[in-house]
Chain A
Amino acid sequence: ETGVTQTPRHLVMGMTNKKSLKCEQHLGHNAMYWYKQSAKKPLELMFVYNFKEQTENNSVPSRFSPECPNSSHLFLHLHTLQPEDSALYLCASSQTGTTSYNEQFFGPGTRLTVL
């Protein structure tokens, strides 16, 4: 499979549940990102990993916990979420350190609904 894949595509969870979102990139990139996409708001960058090291955490609540075991996989662990966390969560990857191919490639997203 090519590009960036995300599973699951849809997730409904209660506020007391624990779940994880998975992202996998098949592009050989060295950077991966989690974004939150809500209606009428800019994409919100949540976390950035470069070479498996977290380089950015944009004041994201601790109920979101990222994990990057290798440069191809990225997880977002969720626990005790709030209804306002309902959104589309997008994963992206890019190649850093080069000048020609560093745009981000996005996955299809996971539509999360918190009840």
Chain B
Amino acid sequence: AQSVSQHNHHVILSEAASLELGCNYSYGGTVNLFWYVQYPGQHLQLLLKYFSGDPLVKGIKGFEAEFIKSKFSFNLRKPSVQWSDTAEYFCAVRNTGNQFYFGTGTSLTVIP
């Protein structure tokens, strides 16, 4: 069965620290990859996406993610987090059948 794994369930960082959230997926075919963010009390919003081309994708609010096909990974990074980045982050994969699979999410808490 296809799946998406997010290994970090809860991350706590101080402001200005660097962030990396792991995401691995199990699907051998062509995929589109996404990171969604859910701020407290708000709905899921797209942070960034990868369809093709440059494997390093830049999103909103200074986030970026790198697609490493050989590792089936799409890790999310930010060099310096802010308190306002406190949220739940979800990795998602879309396969060629237009099926979306989400990870369990990573809760990020940034301490001022």
Contacts and interface: CB of A to CB of B under 8 A. Distances in A.
A96 B52 CA distance: 17
A33 B92 CA distance: 15
Interface in B63-112: 90, 92, 94, 98-105
Given A31-B98, A42-B4, A43-B102, A106 B43 contact: yes
A62 to B, nearest CB: 22
B interface: dominant SS: strand
Interface string A77-106: 000000000000010101010011011111
The contact size tier of chain B is: 20 to 34
Contacts, number: 49
Nearest to A31: B98
Contact of A103 (B42, B46, B99): B46
B51 interface: yes
A45 B100 contact: yes
A108 B43 contact: yes
A107 B49 contact: no
B56 interface: no
A102 B94 contact: yes
Interface in B15-68: 32, 34, 36, 42-46, 49, 51-52
Contacts of A43: 90, 102
Contacts of A53: none
B52 to A, nearest CB: 8
Rank and list the top 10 A-B pairs by shortest CB-CB distance, nearest first: A43-B102, A106-B44, A108-B43, A42-B104, A42-B102, A106-B43, A103-B46, A96-B98, A103-B49, A103-B34
